[in-house]
Structure 1
Amino acid sequence: MLTTQRKQLILQRLATQGQVLAKALAEELGTSEDTIRRDLRELAQEGKLQRVHGGALPASAAVADLGTRSTVSPADKVALGRAGAAMVKPGQLVLLDGGTTALQVARHLAPDLRATVVTHSPTVAVALAQHTHIDIIMLGGRLYRHSMVNVGAAVIDAATRYRADLFFMGVTGVHPEAGLSTGDGEEADVKRALSARAAETVVLASSEKLMTASAFVIAPVNTLAALVVPSDTAAATVHGFRKLGVSVLSAA
């Protein structure tokens, strides 16, 4: 089998089965594991998959910059944002991550809601400004332009001053085995720090993030208080998370 044919097969298997095991595929094709690993490495360099121990998982489409991500699954993100906003109760202190879904949470909060929102995202802070009864606290640091969030030690240090009721964590990958992941190491550090300051951490996951993985691991999925997914998410996907004890909610 030619290299291009093997790579096409690998991508087809990822699309239909959700993972590729290098040893099993090498045995099936009668080639060496080194050959399959080289194929996986080259496909990973092209951004078409995420290598993991023993094989590969689908790469998340959510690792693109903020502008590009705003065009991906827009209807899902509106529904997820509405569902997230409904979780916020009066008087709560909420940590709100950056990203396109977090923006939808900010936009769907009740106009008369009285609460405090702490965020490290300038774009989220601006979106919240129209909510006159919400106190907005910004965590400053180095601006990571790709995601339009502040990162670094200053953000992590500032987070220790708060005890939040909820943290809406943004991720690029959500997978039962690979866990919660993102495409940048500093972002992953900030997300872990914010999660540690919250009584409950919630992920609002649009369809392109489910059953995919990115390079930087944040935490296992069973650390979440809830995973909110689009209403048309496959039952098998939902079952895979619930088997791990994850509370999976559907965004109407």
Structure 2
Amino acid sequence: MLGAQRKDHLREILRRDGRVVAKDVALDLGVSEDSIRRDLRELADAGEMVRVYGGALPVPPADRPVDQRSSLATDSKERVARRAVDLIAPGSTIVLDAGTTTLAMARMLPRGAELTVITPSPAIALAVAEHSDARIVMIGGELARFSMVASGPLAMEAVQHLAADLFFLGVTGIDPARGLTTGHLDDAVTKRAIAARCTRTFVLGSEEKIGATSQYPVLDLDSVAGVVVDPRDANPVIEELAGRVSVLR
């Protein structure tokens, strides 16, 4: 069986069973586990599944490509964005991380507030330009197609020269035990570097992210000033978070 055929078979197993066990697939197809693990790694790198010990699992909703996430929990994201914008004082320099909730924030920024907005996201820079009169500073670098955000060595170098009052951090998982996580290693590294250059960091917690976890750690809850949550979200995990970090509704 050719590699492309094996990958199609793996996709079908994941769709049907909700998981892939590398050992079982290798036995069924009469190929080595190394071949299956290589296929799984390539599919995971393409964002089609998440590798775990012994196989793979589906990509959690919050870890899907940005064009697919835009339709998730849209009302919740709007409410979180509105509360987050209330935290911005006139004359502030802020960093808006890439993400659908920060995109909603970009469309809500007030005019005449003399803001400076720094972002690694072209989409957010365009939204800020369209909806406000804020000064815009782009973090450059290689554009990651999965998240549509600048990353890599050039982005990291640019971050070292920045300073901001507030960082509005986007993650894909907010969990009392595992902290703040995301689905891509490069994103996790860039987010940590930006947080280190900002006076305060607030995490944006729309309903689909509360209690979720992703593969790569970004920051501990103790490292942020607060988590902004949906005031209508009744998830009991929020009460657990409140025991670890300031929760803003």
Give the TM-score of the pair, scaled to structure 2.
Answer: 0.76
Can you list the C-alpha shifts for 1:144-202, whole angstroms capped at 9, x where unaligned? 11111000121111112122100001100000111101000000000000000111000
Paired residue secondary structure (1:207) = coil
Distance 2:132 2:230 in 1: 30
1:203 maps onto 2:203 in alignment: yes
Q: Counterpart in 2 of 1:45?
A: 56
Could you tell me which residue of structure 2 aligns to residue 217 of structure 1? 217
Instruction: Decide whether the 8 Å contact of 2:96 with 2:168 is kept in 1.
Output: yes
Matched AA of 1:238:
I
Deviations 1:85-114 (A, max 9, x none): 221111111011011001001001112221
User: Alignment partner of 1:45: what SS?
Assistant: strand
How many percent of aligned residue pairs carry the same amino acid? 35
Q: What one-letter code is carried by the residue in structure 2 that aligns with 1:247?
A: S
User: Aligned pair in 2 of structure 1 residues 235, 143: CA closer, same or farther (>3 Å)?
Assistant: closer
Deviation, 1:131, is 4.4
Secondary structure at 2:167's aligned position in 1?
Answer: strand
Tell me which residue corresponds to 2:70. Answer: 70
Partner of 2:191: 191
Taking the aligned partners of 1:232 and 1:45, their CA distance within structure 2 comes to 34
Q: Deviations over 1:209-229 (max 9, x none)?
A: 111110110111121101011
Alignment of 1:53-132 (within 5 A): 60-131=60-131
Q: Which residue of 1 aligns with 2:246?
A: 247
Distance 1:75 1:87 in 2: 19
- Taking the aligned partners of 2:128 and 2:195, their CA distance within structure 1 comes to 21
2:109 partner letter: L
Under a length normalisation based on structure 1, what TM-score does the superposition of the two structures give?
A: 0.75
Question: For the residues of structure 2 that align with 1:46 and 1:173, how far apart are their CA atoms?
Answer: 16
2: CA distance between counterparts of 1:227 and 1:75?
Answer: 18
SS in 1 for 2:118: strand
8 Å contact from structure 1 (residues 112, 131) kept in 2 = no
Cα contact 1:86–1:109 (8 A) shared by 2: no
Q: 1:164 to 1:230 in 2, by over 3 A?
A: same
Contact 1:61 1:209 in 2 (8 A): no
Specify the code of the residue in structure 2 equivalent to 1:222. D
| SS of 1:128 mapped into structure 2 | helix
CA contact (8 A) 1:93 1:118 kept: yes
Native 8 Å contact 1:227 1:249 kept in 2: yes
Aligned pairs, how many?
200
> 1:242 offset after TM fit, Å?
1.7
Q: What CA distance in whole angstroms lies between the structure 2 residues aligned with 1:132 and 1:249?
A: 25
Change beyond 3 A, Cα 1:65–1:82: same
Residue 168 in 1 paired to residue 168 in 2? Answer: yes
Q: For residues 83 and 197 of structure 1, do their structure 2 counterparts lie closer, same or farther at Cα, with a shift above 3 Å needed?
A: same
Inter-partner Cα distance in structure 2 for 1:184 and 1:161: 24
Q: Supply the AA of the counterpart residue of 2:64.
A: A
Instruction: Compute the RMSD of aligned alpha carbons.
Output: 1.8
Following superposition, the deviation at residue 72 of structure 1 comes to 0.3
Q: Could you say which residue in structure 2 is the equivalent of 1:147? A: 147
Gaps of 5+ in 2: 1-16, 19-51
Q: Distance in 2 between matches of 1:205 and 1:236?
A: 14
